[in-house]
Chain A
């Protein structure tokens, strides 16, 4: 109870500070809140948006893009990560190009993506994919490399064949790291999607936010930002929830009997 109260209190304080800053038109010289829309303006703008027909279209567009990019990154990241972590040849063969591509921010891919893909839709999904891929890939590799070798030895001595080893030992043993990668990847997926939508989108929350700026609808900018934050948070919570479902042993209350 106390925990929840504290969390609400912190949100309330943020809201209050925002309200004070915008209603008093605070100008600190290096940063000015004169143009900042107030919480009241923003919430009425949010209500308008929710009642408008475009709201679902924006929401759908963004969620679909994030999901496609993220799922693709999950499949590719985990399967590449498992092979690179497990087999020296895969590591030697696949890691050099990946290591070179990794430092390139996903946003820097936008121009090339627009040139490479037939539709802006696919190019935005690609940007999201790139953003989510590396956290998933690297955490999976790390997870596999960090596996206690004795677990593998024990499994082999209990009659586990090399082929079954992946399913029986490697994947469950690396699961916690893989989920860390998925949670980080989900965050970067949203981050990259919004950047891509600002440049190439026709719908979506990033597009909504940026187009509100160009038509000088300032409260809508904040609505877009808050929605992005909310959806990012919700998807992280979803991943944490799935992780707890899939890995019940990770959240044990250790009660020792005798």
Chain B
């Protein structure tokens, strides 16, 4: 994974909609990440952060500027860029094991081998024994674990996550955050994680980028050097609480504009 998964985004603008309804969702955004870095992008709802992520995944075209991953221009989606949505996007007609093995199937790997790898991956995310279930038979937290397993099996260079825990209850969300960190500390793939939850962003990230109201621009960058592995005790430390207050102030200043 070393020296892989580096985005280079320069002066990127994204316009959405047609004709009179067209608007600028993201304006003049530049940033890059280190290999294996965990970046959280924090922003108010509707600020264009999801659009930015879709463009990085190759699903939405940019109108200005360029996105490169490891020097390659991104023009269409590919398996090197893993994507995790807020609501799970598992295929309802496939059993859990086939959902997880989907990426391997697309690479032409035979069934017994891809099922073997999928079982390993399900063990990693703590879902052994659920291979034959359908997604609808799982709880929300389990569905997101399967979704993450399905992306990880492709060994992507970077994982883009669009508020992946936003639809979960508070208790499950916290355990999923810890789960994600434990998995990530094992593989150290670059992660770009979008959220509007300040605490979540501070708890997870190496570096925090705060976005403005639409059209989205980065208005603040905060490096976070809390020791890893991180535990929930971090949430009560004075430094954490102080940063949380700071982020809140920055976001609130946006509301007055």
Q: B77's contact among A157, A168, A252, by CB below 8 Å, is which?
A: A157
Distance in Å from the Cβ of B101 to the closest Cβ of chain A? 10
Residues of A within 8 A of B82 (CB): 157
Interface string of B117-161 (1 = CB under 8 A from A): 000000000000010001011110010000000110010000000
Distance in Å from the Cβ of A178 to the closest Cβ of chain B? 13
Asked if residues A258 and B83 are in contact (CB atoms below 8 Å), the reply is no
Check: A153 CB closer than 8 A to any chain B CB.
Answer: yes
Interface string of B55-76 (1 = CB under 8 A from A): 0011100000000000000001
- Identify whether the interface residues of B are mostly helix, strand, loop, or mixed: loop
Asked if residues A158 and B136 are in contact (CB atoms below 8 Å), the reply is no
Identify 26 residue pairs between A and B in the complex whose beta-carbon atoms are under 8 Å apart, listed by A's number.
A150-B85, A151-B89, A153-B54, A153-B57, A153-B77, A153-B89, A154-B83, A155-B91, A156-B76, A156-B77, A157-B58, A157-B79, A158-B103, A159-B79, A159-B106, A159-B154, A160-B106, A172-B91, A173-B93, A175-B93, A247-B93, A248-B134, A249-B93, A249-B136, A252-B136, A257-B130
Asked if residues A159 and B136 are in contact (CB atoms below 8 Å), the reply is no
Q: A159's contact among B78, B89, B138, by CB below 8 Å, is which?
A: B78
Residues of A within 8 A of B106 (CB): 158-161, 164
Q: A157's contact among B81, B107, B142, by CB below 8 Å, is which?
A: B81
Residues of B within 8 A of A150 (CB): 85, 87, 89
Check: A169 CB closer than 8 A to any chain B CB.
Answer: yes
Cα distance A246–B154 when bound, in Å?
29
Cα distance A175–B79 when bound, in Å?
26
Check: B102 CB closer than 8 A to any chain A CB.
Answer: yes
Distance in Å from the Cβ of A149 to the closest Cβ of chain B? 9
Asked if residues A154 and B139 are in contact (CB atoms below 8 Å), the reply is no
- Chain A 135-159 residues near chain B, CB threshold 8 A: 148, 150-151, 153-159
Asked if residues B139 and A256 are in contact (CB atoms below 8 Å), the reply is yes
The 8 closest A-B pairs by CB, nearest first: A159-B79, A154-B89, A159-B106, A156-B77, A157-B83, A172-B93, A158-B103, A150-B89
Interface size class, chain A: 20 to 34
Residues of B within 8 A of A31 (CB): none
Residue on A nearest B103 in the bound complex, by CB: A158
Tell which of B57, B91, B107 has the most Cβ of chain A within 10 Å. Answer: B91
- Chain A 163-201 residues near chain B, CB threshold 8 A: 164, 168-169, 172-173, 175
Residues of A within 8 A of B137 (CB): 252, 254-257
Name A's B-contacting residues (CB within 8 A). Answer: 148, 150-151, 153-161, 164, 168-169, 172-173, 175, 247-249, 252, 254-258
Cα distance A256–B138 when bound, in Å?
6
Residue on A nearest B95 in the bound complex, by CB: A249
Asked if residues A249 and B92 are in contact (CB atoms below 8 Å), the reply is yes
Residues of A within 8 A of B91 (CB): 151, 155, 169, 172-173
Residues of A within 8 A of B151 (CB): 158
Asked if residues A153 and B142 are in contact (CB atoms below 8 Å), the reply is no
Asked if residues A153 and B59 are in contact (CB atoms below 8 Å), the reply is yes
Distance in Å from the Cβ of A247 to the closest Cβ of chain B? 7
Cα distance A158–B94 when bound, in Å?
15
Tell which of A158, A172, A247, A257 has the most Cβ of chain B within 10 Å. Answer: A158
Residues of A within 8 A of B102 (CB): 155, 158, 160, 168
Residue on A nearest B133 in the bound complex, by CB: A257
Given known A-B contacts A154-B89, A156-B77, A252 and B134 have beta carbons under 8 A apart = yes
Residues of A within 8 A of B78 (CB): 157, 159
Residues of B within 8 A of A164 (CB): 106
Cα distance A119–B198 when bound, in Å?
75
Distance in Å from the Cβ of A190 to the closest Cβ of chain B? 30
Cα distance A255–B134 when bound, in Å?
10
Tell which of B102, B107, B130 has the most Cβ of chain A within 10 Å. Answer: B102
Asked if residues A258 and B81 are in contact (CB atoms below 8 Å), the reply is no
